[in-house]
Amino acid sequence: MLVVMSSSATDSQVKRVKERIKELGFKAHDIPEQEPTAIGVTGNSKQEERVYLEGLPGVAQVIPISKPYKLASRDMHPHDSIVDVSGVKFGNGNAVIIAGPCAIESEEQTLRISNAVAERGAQMLRGGAFKPRTSPYAFQGLGEKGLEILAKVKTITDLPVVTEVVDPGTAKLAGDYVDMLQIGTRNMQNFTLLKEVGKVGKPVLLKRGMSATLDETLMSAEYLMSNGCHQVVICERGVRTFASHARNTLDVSIIPALKQVSHLPIIIDPSHSSGHRYSVIPHALAGIGAGADGLIIDVHDKPEEALCDGPQAILPDQFSELMCLVVGICNVMGKKIGNQKVLEDANQG
């Protein structure tokens, strides 16, 4: 349910409504950026409980939410949510560019690539310290050392950092080092992990499971949100189909479908969808053209030496080309993309 307060409701009336929600055995959630004040209610409710809340002073309306996901639903929050990651804003109508290596391999590698993408207009750095690999023999990431490198590189290039968390035990630790936590496709329905990551208090990039429906994806977002994390960005990174010409099949159709039912921003990962350097740019353009709120891209300056996902990493020069093309599409769409200052300086130079 969503309890909408009247525009003249006082703070003490809002407080009383929240107390009543708890007395009835439900959880009350503040809905950010809502005018007039609205309070989300989760838990199994019955018609009588709706009536009890409707009668309280200051309450204008109680709206039942029929979707299985409540906090992630547009019924609960009609306007697009803006997710703020250390000053970088997702969902405000512009498009954010996150770029960096698949895995953190060393301080030198991370610093080189971070500088390369920052100079070309990226707003955030990506890089895995904990890598979920299909093979137990493959490079698993540098762990905490990788987190230390990310934090150090951030002090130099000043790009906020997103990194993946693969187990509940290291969620809090990762949150101490980076600006945004990532849930990978293989863990989208790891509910224990979602609960722990939700409690950390950092924005989360939630990747769609490789065979997850839209509803399942939003139910996973609901796990994060009901555990206190309202700053969720969804990421489409391709799904499993019969097609074998790409690593995954990029499902751009999820972008308008998600925006219809949810207020959360959605970005595209063209690297993990394509799997091949030659098709990363076309996938990225398709995502931006379909209305994505941003991109997350694997970039490596020595992809042949990369310890993870080298074949899909684009070179810094290809990243420049990608930026040029997405800027063109965004101009047509009336959007801004990437780090404006860097891109304007590059244009003048």
Contact footprint for ligand PEP (CB under 6 A): 102, 128, 132, 164, 184-186, 207, 237, 269, 272
Query: Least separation, in Å, of the C-beta of 269 and Mn ion?
Result: 9
CB closer to Mn ion, 103 vs 225:
103
247 binds, among ligand PEP, Mn ion, none (CB under 5 to 8 A by kind): none
Return the one option of Mn ion, ligand PEP, none that residue 301 interacts with (CB less than 5 to 8 A, by type). none
Give ∠ CA 160-91-268 in degrees, rounded to 5: 75
Nearer to ligand PEP, 102 or 255 (CB): 102
Nearest to 98 by CA among 284, 283, 250: 284
Please provide the DSSP assignment of 301-327 as one string: SSGGG-SS-GGGPBPHHHHHHHHHHHH
Query: Site map for Mn ion, 202-241, x if CB under 5 A?
Result: ----------------------------------------
Give residues with Cβ within 8 angstroms of 281, minimum separation 6: 270, 314, 318, 321, 322, 325
Taking Cα atoms as reference points, which of 117, 113, 112, 174 lies closest to residue 142?
174
In this structure, the number of other CB atoms found within 10 A of the CB of residue 192 comes to 11
Of 102 and 150, the one with the shorter C-beta distance to Mn ion is 102
Q: What are phi and psi of 347, to 5 degrees?
A: -65, -40
DSSP designation for 6:
P
Binding mask 251-290 for Mn ion (x = CB under 5 A): ----------------------------------------
Choice from 309, 337, 338, 343 touching Mn ion (CB under 5 A): 309
CB of 325 to ligand PEP, least distance (A): 22
* Whole-angstrom distance, CA of residue 42 vs CA of residue 96: 31
Q: Which residues contact residue 246 at a Cβ distance below 8 angstroms, ignoring those fewer than 6 apart?
A: 238, 273, 274, 275, 276, 279, 283
Please, what is the minimum distance in Å from the beta carbon of residue 339 to ligand PEP? Answer: 21
Closer to Mn ion by CB, 59 or 307: give it.
Answer: 307
Tell me how far, at minimum, the Cβ of 127 lies from Mn ion, in Å: 10
Q: Which does 80 bind (CB under 5 to 8 A by kind): ligand PEP, Mn ion, none?
A: none
Please say whether the beta carbons of 180 and 204 come within 8 A.
yes
- Closest to 51 in 3D by CA, of 11, 20, 7: 20
- Residue by residue, DSSP assigns 38-78 as EEEEES---HHHHHHHHTSTTEEEEE---SS-STTBTTT--
**Residue 104 is a binding residue for Mn ion (CB under 5 A):** no
301 lies in the binding site for Mn ion (CB under 5 A) = no
For the CB of residue 296, give the shortest distance to Mn ion in the complex, in Å.
Answer: 10
Contact, 288 vs 95, CB < 8 A? yes
> Judged by CB, which is closer to Mn ion: 105, or 309?
309
Residue 205 phi, psi dihedral angles, 5° rounding: -100, 110
To ligand PEP, the closest distance from the beta carbon of 48 in angstroms equals 44
Q: What CA–CA distance (Å, rounded) separates 96 from 98?
A: 7
Which CB, 73 or 273, lies closer to ligand PEP? 273
Q: How many residues does the chain have?
A: 349
102 is an interface residue for Mn ion by CB under 5 A: yes
Binding residues with Mn ion: total (CB under 5 A): 2
Least spacing, CB of residue 212 vs ligand PEP, in Å: 11
By beta-carbon proximity to Mn ion, the closer residue of 204 and 313 is 313
Nearer to ligand PEP by C-beta: 154 or 272?
272
Closest contact distance (angstroms) between CB of 280 and ligand PEP is 13
Catalog residues that contact Mn ion under the rule CB under 5 A.
102, 309
